[in-house]
Structure 1
Amino acid sequence: MFKLPSFAGMLIPVFAMAALLVLDPSLTRADESGKPEIRALLVTGGCCHDYENQKVIISKGLSERVGSIKWTILDYADTRETKAEIYSKPDWIKDFDIVIHNECFGAVEEAEFVQSIVDAHVENGVPALMVHCSMHSYRTAPTADSWRELIGVTSRRHEKSKRSLTVVPTEAGKSNPITRALGESWDTPNGELYIIENLWPGTTVLATSHSTETGNEEPIIWTNTFKDVRVFGTTLGHHNVTMESEQWQSIIAEGFKWALAK
């Protein structure tokens, strides 16, 4: 069992406009007002969560905190077996500057399908945000390790009980803008703690939460660089009330900025 060392489909266009974010110009396009426009894809759906509302919570929150975003939101069926149709289309990722994975497709086992998602990110250099159940998606596929290496962590289960989680920044997290909103620590309104079995080489853990089941400090917020692709991940996001909090919204917005930066 991993124990953290002490150091570390329906297409729906959505709004966008807030303060200007200065990013690498090659990752943006100008909108009609001349402001940089980030082309973001949000893939959502699957088992066990309120994706109908979460797609609004995520997209609205990021638009308010980050800048001008052109959203494409794909909301798929609420089953573990769903194979998101977009991943089977040639060059599906090329129209986007970043992909947010908030999906829960744990029963998809087709190795080639899963590998193609990873390959698309790597071959096109498109960064990703990984939210909550994305960590458990494709977990039984033969090539699932490539998905987990892209994410930065391996997780196959969570604690049995839902509860408030005390989120504490690591030494790396104390000086990182992504986890600034945590302060010394943050008690989430409600949560579901994922058990982390392994950290992959490019991962930097920014915050942890204590597991009452394993006794470990489980990584809960991190950054990962996989074959030059930046990936931000958090297992926080089971309940809407946590997603709607100022702390979660700030963490996601800063993670989004980090992923897009060179």
Structure 2
Amino acid sequence: MKSTFKLLVPAIAAAMTLSASAAPAAKPLKALLVIGGCCHDYGVQKGILEAGIEARTNIQVDVCYSDDKSTKATFTCYEKENWAEGYDVIIHDECSADIKDPAVVNRILDAHRKGVPGVNLHCAMHCYRTSPDFGKPLADGAEGAMWFDYLGLQSSGHGSQLPIAVSYTDSGSPITKGFENWTTIKEELYNNIRVHDSAKALAKGKQGDSETVIVWTNEYGDKKTRVFSTTLGHNNETVSDTRYLDLVTRGLLWTCNKLDKDGKPAAGYEPAAAK
């Protein structure tokens, strides 16, 4: 009996190893990066973001790019009704401040109202200003506040490009856990007209005497859709900074509920090199 058991142990161990190696990998997340418009080097930044995020987690990033450099850039991916179908998360990095048609904005937001998470970078905060009074605090639910309600923060502009001192104000969040404060190159500090009650600040940025929220999360709509945003990311050097790409990737994973409490990708969503 003992000799039979000794023979069985290696066989069982081998079978378990084979089973583990044969276990299918987690299905990659699918992200849609919407990028283009005024005032930024989006032609380069789309590649930086796609490669940088894919290197940090198990994800496929598709790109919807517009080479229109005006403030009225439009995107072919938004043209169909169910434009976000098949995607786990949408990354908004467009700069379309003069797209003001509520029907267009509602079409974009409808996906997020239905529960598709969102990540918003830099000029995405200054898009879709359907109200001429976007420089004044707008109440929740006001027609002109629809994009700000989604973001969880209303911003109307920025000052000169100067270095921003980044201070993480919520070190317990899995998005920021272990991150050290840092100072960017010359960047744009976006103002805060209003921070919504549904938003949770994760970091502030300071230029001289001006200090504003620059990283935050939000729960949007009836489904409490997870939304992550940062106003950082004007210049290519910042977008390609490891600290920036780590932050954006963690924020994305949090929106998809694929970030563990220590700030690491959930099992199956590690970058390929770490598996």
- Shorter-normalised TM-score: what interval? 0.7 to 0.9
**Mapped contact 1:114–1:144 kept (Cα < 8 A):** no
Q: CA deviation at 1:83?
A: 2.4
**Mapped contact 2:89–2:256 kept (Cα < 8 A):** yes
1:145 aligned partner: 145
* Mapped pair 1:218 → 2:218: no
Provide the secondary structure at the position in 2 that maps to 1:250: helix
2:165 aligned partner: 166
- Measured in 2, the distance between the counterparts of 1:166 and 1:71 equals 30
Instruction: Summarize the alignment of residues 159-238 of structure 1 with structure 2, pairs less than 5 Å apart.
Output: 159=159, 161-170=160-169, 173-180=170-177, 182-183=179-180, 185-212=181-208, 215-227=209-221, 228-238=224-234
**Mapped contact 1:206–1:221 kept (Cα < 8 A):** yes
The change in CA–CA distance for 1:86 and 1:144 in structure 2 (over 3 A counts) is farther
Letter in 2 for 1:70: Q
1:59 aligned partner: 50
TM-score, normalised via structure 2 length: 0.76
Q: CA deviation at 1:36?
A: 1.7
1:112 aligned partner: 103
Letter in 2 for 1:220: I
1:7 aligned partner: none
Q: CA deviation at 1:176?
A: 1.8
The change in CA–CA distance for 1:55 and 1:221 in structure 2 (over 3 A counts) is same
* Mapped pair 1:252 → 2:248: yes
- Measured in 2, the distance between the counterparts of 1:116 and 1:248 equals 30
Letter in 2 for 1:156: S
Deviates more, 1:161-170 or 1:203-212: 203-212
Aligned length: 222
- Measured in 2, the distance between the counterparts of 1:248 and 1:181 equals 14
Match of 2:36 among 38, 45, 61: 45
Unaligned runs of 5+ in 2: 1-23, 133-142, 259-275
The change in CA–CA distance for 1:141 and 1:89 in structure 2 (over 3 A counts) is farther
Q: CA deviation at 1:216?
A: 4.2
Q: CA deviation at 1:211?
A: 4.1
Question: Cα RMSD between the aligned structures?
Answer: 1.6
Instruction: Summarize the alignment of residues 21-32 of structure 1 with structure 2, pairs less than 5 Å apart.
Output: none
Return structure 1 stretches of 4+ with deviation > 4 angstroms. Answer: none
Letter in 1 for 2:176: T
2:154 aligned partner: 154
The change in CA–CA distance for 1:178 and 1:191 in structure 2 (over 3 A counts) is same
Output one character per residue of 1:85-105: Cα deviation in whole Å (capped at 9) or x when no partner. Answer: 322312111121100000000
Q: CA deviation at 1:71?
A: 2.4
Unaligned runs of 5+ in 1: 1-32
Letter in 2 for 1:175: G
Letter in 2 for 1:80: T
- Measured in 1, the distance between the counterparts of 2:184 and 2:164 equals 5
Percent of counterpart pairs with the same letter? 34
Instruction: Summarize the alignment of residues 80-159 of structure 1 with structure 2, pairs less than 5 Å apart.
Output: 80-123=71-114, 125-141=115-131, 143-159=143-159
